[in-house]
Structure 1
Amino acid sequence: MEKITMPTFRPHQRWMPACLLALLWSSTPAAKEPAESVAFFENRIRPVLVEHCYECHAADADEIGGSLLLDSSDAMLVGGDSGPAIKPGEVDESPLVLAIRYEASEMPPKGKLPDSVIRDFEQWIAAGATDPRNQVTAGVVKRELVDIEKGRKFWAFQPLTSVEPTTQSYDESRGVIDQFIGERLRASDIAPNSQAADETRLRRLSFDLTGLPPSIELQHRWKLDPSWQHWNRIVDEMLDSPGFAEHWARHWMDVARYADSNGSDFNATFHEAWRYRDYLIRSFASDRPFDQMIRQQIAGDQLPYDTDAERHDNVVATTFLMLGTKMLSERDKTKLELDVVDEQIDTIGRAFLGMTLGCARCHDHKFDPVPTSDYYALAGIFKSTVTLKGESQAYVSTWNRVPLPTSKNHREAVRQHERAVQTLKSEIATAEKTLQDAKSGISEELSGIVVDDSQATKTGTWKESTYTKGYVGKGYVHDNNAQKGTAKIRFAADLPSNGPYEVRVAYSANSNRASNVPITIETSDGIVTTTISQRKIDTPPFWRSLGTFDFKASSPAVVTLSNRETNGYVIADAVQFLSTDDLNKINHPEENAHKTAVHARIDEAQKKLNSLKQRLQKLVKEKPKPLPMAMAPTDRPTSKISDSPVHIRGEPKNLGEIVPRGFLQVCSGGDAIIANPRGSGRLDLADWLTDPDHPLVARVFVNRVWMHLMGEGLVRTVDNFGERGERPSHPELLDYLATSFVRKGWHLKPLVREIVRSAAYHRSSEYNAASASTDPENRLWWRMHRRRLPAEAIRDAMLAATGTLSREPILETMKSHGVLVSGNNGNSKAGKIASVAAPYRSIYLPIVRGYLPPMMTALDAADPDLLVGRRPTTNVPGQALVLINAPEIKDWARQTADRVLNSREGLEERLEFVYQLCLQRSPNENDKRLAHRVFAEDPQSPDAWQHWIAALFAGTEFRLLD
C-alpha cells in the first residue's frame, strides 16, 4: 500500500472538512518516525490538534476556552488560566494528556479520542514535545507570570511608614489628624465648615459610639456644659458603656458574615453561633487587642491558656471560620470541602487584608499580584483543618463541634444522668421482653381454633413485622399504608363440627391504624360484610370480636381482610374461632387456672413497664444543662495534614502541582512558605497576619474604624485595597493611624477616642457651594458626611423612645429550633424566631438566613450571606412607607405617646420631651407652629400624639445622622 504523506496544516486551513482530515489521518499506517522528530509531530500530532482543538483553542477562534491556545509551541508551554498545557518529558504531569485521557477535564468534549491517538501524544511529550510551530501566533500576547517584585511597589503592599505632618499648627487643630487634613485643605484652598451645633454633635457621638440616642439626662447635662473637657468625659463614659461593645460588635459581625442559621439548600440551625456574638461583645467591652482577636479567630483552639475562661474564648472565637453559608447537601464531598475552604480564604482575604482572593482559585488573580499557587498555599492550611464533620442525615454534612470548659460538678452531673438514663432504658427493654413473653404464653395456650397470618393466603403486598409487641405467633403483617385496594389476606379454618362460633381478629391497636378495615366472613348462611376500626381493641391484649356466626364442618370457615379505601395501616395478625365450649372455659377462669396465671403475669409486667417509662419521663425532664459546645474547627490528625495540589480551574479532580503551605508572597518580606508548619498552619497564618510589619492588616482595620466614624473610609473601597480598589485620599494619615494603632497595642478605644476628639469629627455637614466646587465628593473632609443610621440603630432608637428597650442579652438564641430552621409559619414545630417586636437590642435578635425581617431589609441591614464591610446606603420612599405602615412601629409610636402623656403636662413640655426622645434636640419655631395647629382641637388626644410621633419616626431626620 502506498504511503500517504500528511500535509502541514496551518490555522488558516481549518476550513478543510473534518471528514477529510479524519480520512487522511485514519489512512496513515503506524508511524515509523521517531517520536522526537518533526515528522512525528506533523503526521501524528498537528492533524489531531487542528481537527479537535483549534475550534476553541486557536487565535482566530470565536471564543478562546480557558485563555488556552494550542496553535503554537510557545502558547502550549505558557498555557492558559490553569497553567501550561504540556510539560515536555513529563507525560503524567501534562494537563493536556490528563484531559484527552478523560482523567481530569474531558477533551475534546464531543467524544474521547482513540487509544492509539492518546498513545501518540504520550510518546510525543515523553520524547520532549518537538514542535516546529516555534512562533507565537500573530495577535496573541504571551501570558505573563505574576510579577511579585513589581506588585510589591503598589501602595498597599509598601511597608507602613510613620510620617509627621509638615505643618505643625492649624487653626482648628486638636491633634495630628487635623494637621494631616488641614494640609490638604489648605493646599486645595478649601475653607472647612465650622463646628456643628452642640445637639448635633452629641447625637452624632452617641449613635457612632453606642448605636443609641443620648439619654434625656445626658442631653440636659451636655446642654448645661458643652465644654471640651465635658466632651472628653462623655467620650470616656460611652467607651466604657455596654452600648459601645454591642454596637461595635455588630460592625464586626457584618464582616464575619454572622448568622444563626446556614441558609442555602439546607437551612440548618446554628445553635451555638450566639457564643461568638457574645465573645465579640466581651472583646470590645474589655478592649481586647485586635491582634489577639485575629489570633483567636484564626487559631484560637491552638493558643495557650491559663484559665477556663481563656480557653472558652479561644475556642469560641474560631466560630469566625464556620459562619459562612455552605451547600451542606452537596453529595460531592471533595467539592464541598473545596467550596468551604474557598469561602474561608475569601473571607480572611477581605476581612483582614482588604483583598479579593477567591478568583485565584481558578487562575492567577487578574489584577492583583496573587498567583494561583499563593491561593493553594493558603488552601493547604484550611484543607488540613476540620470544618465539616459527620452528617445530620443521609448525604447532609454538618459542622465540627468542640467541647467547651465547664465545672467538674456539671460534667459529673451530666455523666450521672446519662448513666441513670441508660440503666432505665436497659430495665425498660427487659420489662418489654418480659411482657412479650407473658403475652406469648397466651398465644401458646389460645382457646378454639386459631389461624395465624403465617398460615393465611396473601394477595398483594404485605410487610412482615414484630415492631409492636404483643402478637400471636412469631409476628404480624401490615399493608405499609400503601397501594390501597390491592392487598387482601384470607384466613381459612376447618371446623370440627357444625354450629355457632364467635369469630375474633387479632391486631395491635394504635392511632395510625385504619378506622375502616373491610372484612368478609363466609358462613353457612352466606357471606357477611363488616367494617372495624383497628385504632382500639375490645378484648385485651389483642382481640376484637366480629360476632357469632353459623358454620358447617363440611366447608372451610373463611375470614378475609382487605385494604380497600382504608385510611391508615391495616394490620393482620390472626383469626380465632371459638365454639360454645371454648367460650365457657374462657368465661369460667376456675376451669383454666393456667390462663388466669398468664393474665396475672401480663398485668404485672405491664404495670412494671408503665412505672419504668414514667420514671424515664421524669428523669428526662430533670436533665441537667448539656455540656457547652462550640461550632469550631480543629486540626486534622497529623497523618491527614498535608499541602494542597493546585486544582486546575478550581475543579476537584483536576490536580496540578503540590504547593507548600504558606502565605501571600506580595505581603511577605521574606519567604512566604511555612518552613515547619505547626499542625494545619493556622497558628502560623495568625502570626503572619498579626506581624507588626504586615503592610495591610492594620491599614485595613483602622480604615474600617474611620469609615464608621467619619462616613467614608480613607480608602473608600474598605474591602478592596487592590488594584481595582480606590486609592487612599490621605495615605500619610492612614499610615499614621495604622502605625499608632499597632504601637499602642492594637487597642480600638484609643483609636476611636483620637478620631472623635478631632476637629474634623465635629464639623457641620452643611453644604458649601464654594468648597463643593473644588471637592464635590468631600474627599478632603471639609465637612462631615451626612449618613444613614444603621437599621439596628433606627429600630433601637424607636424602642428607646418607648422607654421599654431591654438591655438584657438573649442567650441560646435558637434553643427552641431543631436541626432545621422552620418555615416560620403558624404550624411550625421547630420554634418561632424572635421578631423585631421583641424589646431587645437588635444585636440580640436571631439572624436567620432566608428570613430577614422586611423592616430591617428595607433599612439596609447587612446580608448575612456576604461579608459586608460597608453597608449599602439607600434613602428611598419605600423606607418611609415601611416606617409608617409596619405594625410594630405603630405600636412603638403608641407606647411613646402614652409615655409622653403620662409623664409631662402641657403642649410645650410634651413637645420638648417628644423631640428629645426622637430627634435629640429641642423643637424649632416651625415645629412648634405646626404642632399648635395639629393639637389645637385636643392636645390630650392619644391618637394625635401617636400620629405625630409616627411621622417623626418615618422622617428623614430620624434616620439620618448629621
Structure 2
Amino acid sequence: MCRRLFYLMLIFFAIVYVIQACNGPSSNQVGEEQMPDSISYNFNVRPILSDKCFACHGPDANKREADLRLDIASEAYKALKENPSAHALVPFKPNASEVFLRISTQDTAYIMPPKSSNLKLTAHEISIIEKWIKQGAKYEKHWAFTPPKLPQTPKVKDAKWAKNEIDYFVLDKLEHKGIAPNPEADKERLLKRASLDITGLPPSVEMMDKFLADSSSNAYEKVVESLIASPAYGERMALHWLDVARYADSHGYQDDNYRSQWPWRDWVIHAFNENMPYNKFISWQLAGDLMPNASKEQLLATGFNRNHKITEEGGVIDEEYRVEYVTDRTNTFGKAIIGVTLECAHCHDHKYDPFSQKEYYQVFAFFNNVKEVGLESVVGGPETYAKKPLMEISNADVKEILKFVNKQDTNKLIVSVMGDQDTVRKTYLLKRGVYDAHGEVVEAGTPKSLLSFSDKYPKNRLGLTQWLFDKKNPLTSRVFVNQVWQEFFGRGIVKTSGDFGMQGELPSHPELLDWLAVDFINHGWDIKRLVKQIVTSATYRQSAVVSAEKLKTDPENILLARAPRYRIPAELVRDVVLSSSGLLVKTIGGPSVKPYQPPGLWEAATSGRGLLANYKQDHNESLYRRGMYTFIKRTVPPPVMGIFDASNRDQCEVKRLKTNTPLQALAMMNDPTVLEASRVLADKLLQGKGTAEAKIGTAFRRIVCRKPKKEEVQVLTAYYADQLKVFKQKANADKVLAVGEYPLSQKNNKTELAAMMEVIAAIYNLEETITKS
C-alpha cells in the first residue's frame, strides 16, 4: 500500500497542472474600498446598519432598544423618546444626527454599538454613513423586495467579445475595473465543462473527436443543443432540485424506515426533460391537488411537500409532530422558492427582515390544512412506505398516464402526496413557536413587504402559487435564475442563494440578475432557454486559468474574468467513474439502489426495527446506476457521498458546501467502485490491439476528457512498466483484481491486467479528473 501510494503521489505531481484555487476569503468587495460618489442606502448603508445596528434597532420589537428603529425612515427621522430635542437622523446634517455622533465618538460610555456588543464600525463605514447623511439620508426599499425591471444592455468597448446579453453586463463591470476577461477555453476543456454541467456525464471519445473535427462557427452551439436534448439533462437538473426538496428514501428520526417517494423523483426528471415552464413546475408541486380536475400527474408532483422527515416512534405527541411537518413545508417554501429566511420569524418577529411573526403563521396557514397526523401507526406491508394522504400508482397508470415512472414489478406502489381537509383547520400564531402555545387566530396571507396577498386569490395553496407568479412578485424569478446561475458558476450572482433578505449578500451584478429575471418571465419561464443562454455566453466559455494578478485582485472570481474551477458534485464523481469505464447503466428513474458500502454502518445506527435495520447491498446492474439513484437513509447517508459534501437531505438545501479534505483523496484511492472501474476499463483496453502507450492514452482521454501530453504519457507508461515488474516479482495480482462483482473476461494476462488497472486508478486519482475547469 505504501509503495502504491508513493507512485500515485509521484504521478500526481508529475502530471497535474498547478492552478491556484479560487476560494479566497469571503468578501463581496473587490480590491481596495473606495468611496462612491453617490451613496446608495441599499448597497452602501443598509449592509452596515444590518450588521451592526438592526439587532437592537431593527424589526424585532421584542429586542428593540430605546424604542429606536433604524430600518424605517419615518422612525429614524423622528425625535428620540429618551431625548425629544434630538433625532437619530437629520438629513443633510451629520453633526445633528445622533447616529453619526454615537458611531464616531471615542467616548466608550456613549459609543454605538456599545463596547459590550463586540461590534465596531470601521473608519470607512463611518465615512459612508456620514456622506449618506450629507446627501440627504435617503432610504430605499430593500433591492430584493422591489419588482425587477428590465435594464438597458450596457455599452462596452470590446463588443466583439460578447456572445449574448449576459456578456455585456459582465464585461461592463470588468472594463470599469480595468480587467480583461480570459480567452475562450480550448475545445476539449470546454466540451468537458459543458457536458458535466448539462448532463452530469463526461463526453465520450466519439463526441470529443466529432467536436474537435467540427470547424464550423456554430460547432459549440450544436453541441450544447444536443446535450440539452439528452435524457441525461433532466437527471442533471433534477439533482439540485432533490437537495431543494429534501428528497430521501427513508422517513428520518430514530426508526428511519423505508419510504417510497421515488416516483416523485421520476416526475422531476421528466418535467425537466419536457422543459415544463418553471411557473407550472412549481405550481404543480405546491398545489397540483387543488388544480381544476387535477390529474394523477399533478397529484404526484405534490410529493414535493411531503418529502420532509416523518416520525414513526411511539410516545411522541401527535400535534407536536404535525406542527413540525407544517413548519418544514413553510420553511422550505421560504428558502427554496422566495429565497428568504422566513424561519427566523417562527418564534418572534424577524430581527433583520420586515417579516412579523404573524406573517410567518399566515404563510404557515397555507400548509396547515393537510389531512395528516403527526404519528401514523401503520405496521407492516407497503402502507408503511408512504403516509396519508397518499396516492397509489397502478400498472395501468404507468402504461397510460404516468409513463415516465420506472415501475418494473407488480408490487403495490404508493406515494405521499398533498390533500386538504374538507373544513379549514384553524391556524394560530404560536407563542415562542411552541406547538400548543396558541396565540391569535390568523388567516392565510403573505408578507406585505414583499407583495400583499390579493383578495382575488383563493386563500389556499393554489392562491399562493398565483401570488408567486404575479409579475409584481419581486423574488420568484430572481431566486430561481440565481440558483441556476449558481449551478453553472459555483456561486450565485447573489452568493447567499437562500437569503435575499437584509443579511444576505448583495448581488455582484444586480443589473444582470434583474435582466435575467425579467427575460425569464418574458419568455414563458423557459428553463432550457435560460440554460442555453448561460452556457453559450462568452462569460461561461472562458478559460479557467488564473493569473497571479487576477487571483490577488479578485480571489473569489466575483467579477467573472475567468471560468470557475472547482470539484464536481458528489454524485457526478461516481458518474464520471462509471461512465468512463463503461460500467454505467443509463436507465432513468426507478427505485433507489444500494451500491458497495462499508459493513456495519446501518446496524450501528439503527433502532433494530424496520426494513432498513440492515444494509442489503444490491447486485448486477443496480451496482452501476448514476449517483443520484443511490439510496439515502437519512440517519446514515451514503458515506462516500458525504465525504464529497452531498446533502443528507434532512432539510432544504439550496447550496452545497465545497470542501477539500484528505478523506476525499482516500475515498478515490480505496472506493471499491473506483477500483472496480479501473479493473473493468483495463480489461476492455487490453483486449484491443495496440501498444500499452496507446491504450493508456485512450484511458486518459476517456477519464480526463482530453488528449494527454507527451510527458504525461511517458510518466504513465513508465509507471505501467514498473507495475509489471512488481506483479511479476512479488505482488499478488489475483488479490488486486478481486474487487467488485463485474466478471473478469479471462482473456488477459493477470499480471498485465493488474498493472494496467493500477495505471488507470492513478488517472482516476488525478485532481483534474473530478474538477470542472
Select which of 626, 629, 651 maps to 2:434: 651
Structure 1 gaps, min length 5: 1-65, 76-137, 142-149, 412-623, 816-820
Structure 2: how far apart are the matches of 1:70 and 1:182?
A: 44
Report the CA distance between 1:690 and its aligned residue: 1.9
Select which of 951, 954, 960 maps to 2:762: 951
1:778 aligned partner, one-letter code: N
Structure 2: how far apart are the matches of 1:889 and 1:739?
A: 44
Partner of 1:189: 178
Partner of 1:264: 253
Aligned-residue CA RMSD in angstroms?
Answer: 3.3
Identity of aligned residues (%): 31
Q: Counterparts in 2 of 1:293-442, with a 5 A limit? A: 293-305=281-293, 311-329=295-313, 331-388=316-373, 391-393=376-378, 399-404=387-392, 406=394
Partner of 2:100: none
Partner of 2:504: 725
Partner of 2:558: 779
Report the CA distance between 1:398 and its aligned residue: 7.3
Structure 2: how far apart are the matches of 1:829 and 1:383?
A: 29
Report the CA distance between 1:829 and its aligned residue: 8.2
Partner of 1:798: 577
- Contact kept? 1:249, 1:281, Cα under 8 Å: yes
CA deviations on 1:438-480 (whole Å, 9 max, x unpaired) are xxxxxxxxxxxxxxxxxxxxxxxxxxxxxxxxxxxxxxxxxxx
Select which of 912, 918, 930 maps to 2:715: 930
Report the CA distance between 1:931 and its aligned residue: 2.3
SS at the partner of 2:687? helix
SS at the partner of 1:629? strand
Select which of 254, 269, 282 maps to 2:270: 282
2:316 aligned partner, one-letter code: R
Does the C-alpha gap of structure 1 residues 293 and 70 become closer, same or farther in structure 2, counting only changes over 3 Å?
Answer: closer
Does the C-alpha gap of structure 1 residues 70 and 791 become closer, same or farther in structure 2, counting only changes over 3 Å?
Answer: closer
CA deviations on 1:321-350 (whole Å, 9 max, x unpaired) are 111113443622222122111111110100
SS at the partner of 1:386? coil
Does 2:521 correspond to 1:742?
A: yes
Does the C-alpha gap of structure 1 residues 409 and 881 become closer, same or farther in structure 2, counting only changes over 3 Å?
Answer: closer
Report the CA distance between 1:834 and its aligned residue: 4.9
CA deviations on 1:527-572 (whole Å, 9 max, x unpaired) are xxxxxxxxxxxxxxxxxxxxxxxxxxxxxxxxxxxxxxxxxxxxxx
Report the CA distance between 1:71 and its aligned residue: 14
Structure 2: how far apart are the matches of 1:728 and 1:758?
A: 19
SS at the partner of 1:799? helix
Select which of 468, 474, 479 maps to 1:689: 468
SS at the partner of 1:765? coil
Does the C-alpha gap of structure 1 residues 380 and 810 become closer, same or farther in structure 2, counting only changes over 3 Å?
Answer: closer
SS at the partner of 2:295? helix
Partner of 2:688: 903
Structure 2: how far apart are the matches of 1:71 and 1:714?
A: 35
Structure 1: how far apart are the matches of 2:753 and 2:411?
A: 49
- Contact kept? 2:318, 2:373, Cα under 8 Å: no
- Contact kept? 2:316, 2:375, Cα under 8 Å: no
Does 2:698 correspond to 1:913?
A: yes
Structure 2: how far apart are the matches of 1:899 and 1:228?
A: 36
Does the C-alpha gap of structure 1 residues 392 and 791 become closer, same or farther in structure 2, counting only changes over 3 Å?
Answer: same
Q: Counterparts in 2 of 1:103-142, with a 5 A limit? A: none
CA deviations on 1:461-512 (whole Å, 9 max, x unpaired) are xxxxxxxxxxxxxxxxxxxxxxxxxxxxxxxxxxxxxxxxxxxxxxxxxxxx
Report the CA distance between 1:313 and its aligned residue: 1.8
Partner of 1:876: 661
Does 2:205 correspond to 1:205?
A: no
Query: Does 382-391 or 311-320 show the bigger shift?
Result: 382-391
Partner of 1:888: 673
Does the C-alpha gap of structure 1 residues 651 and 757 become closer, same or farther in structure 2, counting only changes over 3 Å?
Answer: same
Structure 2: how far apart are the matches of 1:68 and 1:373?
A: 14
TM-score normalised over the length of structure 1: 0.58
1:355 aligned partner, one-letter code: V
Q: How many residues align?
A: 597
Select which of 225, 235, 248 maps to 1:236: 225
Query: Does 209-218 or 895-904 show the bigger shift?
Result: 895-904
Does 2:150 correspond to 1:153?
A: no
Partner of 2:81: none
CA deviations on 1:590-613 (whole Å, 9 max, x unpaired) are xxxxxxxxxxxxxxxxxxxxxxxx
Q: Counterparts in 2 of 1:266-665, with a 5 A limit? A: 266-271=255-260, 273-305=261-293, 311-329=295-313, 331-388=316-373, 391-393=376-378, 399-404=387-392, 406=394, 625=410, 628-638=413-423, 641-665=424-448
Structure 2: how far apart are the matches of 1:958 and 1:711?
A: 17
Partner of 2:753: 942
Does the C-alpha gap of structure 1 residues 325 and 828 become closer, same or farther in structure 2, counting only changes over 3 Å?
Answer: closer
Partner of 1:245: 234
CA deviations on 1:843-897 (whole Å, 9 max, x unpaired) are 2222221222221111111221132211111122221111111223211211111
Q: Counterparts in 2 of 1:17-56, with a 5 A limit? A: none
SS at the partner of 2:628? helix
- Contact kept? 1:198, 1:226, Cα under 8 Å: no
Structure 2: how far apart are the matches of 1:322 and 1:923?
A: 48
- Contact kept? 1:661, 1:673, Cα under 8 Å: no
Structure 1: how far apart are the matches of 2:151 and 2:65?
A: 53
Report the CA distance between 1:728 and its aligned residue: 0.4
Does the C-alpha gap of structure 1 residues 795 and 650 become closer, same or farther in structure 2, counting only changes over 3 Å?
Answer: same
SS at the partner of 2:188? helix
Partner of 2:453: 672
The structure with the largest alpha-carbon Rg is 1
Does the C-alpha gap of structure 1 residues 918 and 397 become closer, same or farther in structure 2, counting only changes over 3 Å?
Answer: closer
Report the CA distance between 1:926 and its aligned residue: 2.1
Structure 1: how far apart are the matches of 2:507 and 2:281?
A: 26
SS at the partner of 2:624? coil
- Contact kept? 1:158, 1:695, Cα under 8 Å: yes
Partner of 1:50: none
Does the C-alpha gap of structure 1 residues 266 and 665 become closer, same or farther in structure 2, counting only changes over 3 Å?
Answer: farther
- Contact kept? 2:631, 2:638, Cα under 8 Å: no
1:748 aligned partner, one-letter code: I
Query: Does 874-883 or 177-186 show the bigger shift?
Result: 874-883
Partner of 1:861: 646
- Contact kept? 2:540, 2:563, Cα under 8 Å: yes
Structure 1: how far apart are the matches of 2:668 and 2:361?
A: 48
Report the CA distance between 1:841 and its aligned residue: 1.2
Structure 2: how far apart are the matches of 1:825 and 1:773?
A: 46
- Contact kept? 2:593, 2:618, Cα under 8 Å: no
TM-score normalised over the length of structure 2: 0.72
Report the CA distance between 1:173 and its aligned residue: 0.7
Query: Does 857-866 or 315-324 show the bigger shift?
Result: 857-866
- Contact kept? 1:312, 1:404, Cα under 8 Å: no
Report the CA distance between 1:839 and its aligned residue: 0.8
Task: Pick the structure with more strand per residue.
Answer: 1
Report the CA distance between 1:761 and its aligned residue: 0.7
Structure 2: how far apart are the matches of 1:694 and 1:852?
A: 37
SS at the partner of 1:385? coil
Structure 2: how far apart are the matches of 1:716 and 1:295?
A: 26
Partner of 1:608: none
Does the C-alpha gap of structure 1 residues 812 and 799 become closer, same or farther in structure 2, counting only changes over 3 Å?
Answer: closer
Higher relative contact order (CA 8 A, sep 6+): 2
